[in-house]
Amino acid sequence: MADVQLLSAPGHAGHVELILSGRLDTASSDHVKQKLDAALQGVSPDFPVVLNIGELDYISSSGLRIVLGLAKRFRALRVTEANDEVYHVFEITGFTKIVNITRALRRLSIEGCEEIGRGGVGIVYRVDDETIVKVFREGTTQSDVQREVDMAKKAFVLGMPTAISFDMVRVGSQYGLVYELLRADTMSACIRRHPDQIDAFSRHYADMMRHMHTLEVPPDSTIPSAKAVAVKAVEFTARYLEAQDIDIMLHIVDSIPEANRLLHCDLQTKNIMMQGDEPMLIDMGEVGYGHPMIDLGFCYSSMVKLVGDSMQIIGLTSEMASQVWHKMSEFYFEGQPADLVAHRLQQIQTVAVVRNFSWLSLSESFPESLIAQVRSLATERLRNQKEHLYDVCRTFHDWTL
């Protein structure tokens, strides 16, 4: 008997995802169609719909007609996780030419693998000498992972030094992205091994960031506005913070000048892989366009004002992470007058306040103890600093590109 489960509703994410399981034959087709119609009631024909059939053991012609009906009703329908037998049915009936359907993902074990990085949306492991895998948090959908792949490709084409994943996999119940990086390690790990070379690594860091901030995102690109994403992230944190805190952060974001530069939006040293002397980025889920002060502010938040365990999240002690940031910023603004650099750093620190809290939007499964820690900082970093923050916001317009 086949059944339908709603995994992701329209109001929760940028798509609807349903899981179809069991045997979809003549006996169960009416039941399945009723449940699908109920779950998709009111959903727009242009809204992305994902039908996950990873638990579907069998599909008959009556089941194929249901899928065809969904494809006609929803222009952005995707059918995912088909096992070999079910995919074969779609293939021999010609459905693979008219429906966007993908096979089940390869399964990968991380048992015994070294953890080399941990962040808000996942953990990175070394699989062997040539490959690493980023394993996403529970609750991350295949569409979320595919978005990161797509953003990485778009950023790479524009000139961002990005590692491109060659395989999406399943790691237990979670999704993962596999990258081929020969003898590569995170910049954090390289700095830990060679603390005497902090200047050299900070130079790489600054050069990469400065280069990226010269890249312009064309108007017809699907890369999102970093400001628009930041607004949504701040609004998400309204479930944790006071209304006055949200108003302050929204004011800061609104004050940031419009720009079209390519931004990473989470450019801390754990997200940079060093392959020899070549830095490459692996965490592309937040790529956007906008003013460089967003990238620099978010970076300052992670490297200097991090909430949480610095060694676990950044891969460096808080003291060393702060040292790297200050070295990097010196190189980034190299050649500019000292008073102007001091002013720019004050602007960056103001934008960083937003990231201090908005990163909570990256997941709905952060521990309550961490959320409580963030809440406790709101008075110190937002309410008590409101007038100063607003004064700095009034100067944002002088940072022209």
Tell me what pLDDT residue 12 has: 46
pLDDT tens track, the chain, 401 positions:
567 776 655 544 567 888 898 999 888 889 889 988 888 888 888 888 889 998 899 999 999 999 999 999 998 899 988 998 999 999 999 999 989 998 888 899 999 998 887 776 788 899 998 888 999 988 788 778 888 899 999 999 999 989 888 889 999 989 999 998 877 889 999 999 999 999 999 999 999 999 999 999 999 999 999 999 999 999 999 999 999 999 999 999 999 999 999 999 999 999 999 988 889 898 888 999 999 999 999 999 999 998 888 998 899 999 999 999 999 999 999 999 999 999 999 999 999 999 999 988 877 767 788 888 888 888 889 999 999 999 999 999 999 99
Token digits of residue 158: 């524009």
- Please state, in angstroms and rounded to a whole number, the distance separating the CA atoms of residues 61 and 336: 70
185-398 placed in CATH 3.90.1200.10: yes
Class of domain 3-104: alpha beta
Tokens 């954090």, residue located: 188
The number of helix segments (H) and strand segments (E) in the chain equals 14, 16
Class of domain 114-180: alpha beta
Name which of 315, 391, 389, 322 is nearest 357 in CA terms. Answer: 389
Rounded to whole angstroms, what are the CA distances from 317 to 19, 146, 266, 313?
43, 32, 18, 10
Domain positions in the chain are 3-104, 114-180, 185-398
- Please state, in angstroms and rounded to a whole number, the distance separating the CA atoms of residues 284 and 177: 11
Token digits of residue 211: 């280069």
Tell me what pLDDT residue 206 has: 97
pTM greater than the 0.75 cutoff: yes
- Please state, in angstroms and rounded to a whole number, the distance separating the CA atoms of residues 283 and 377: 27
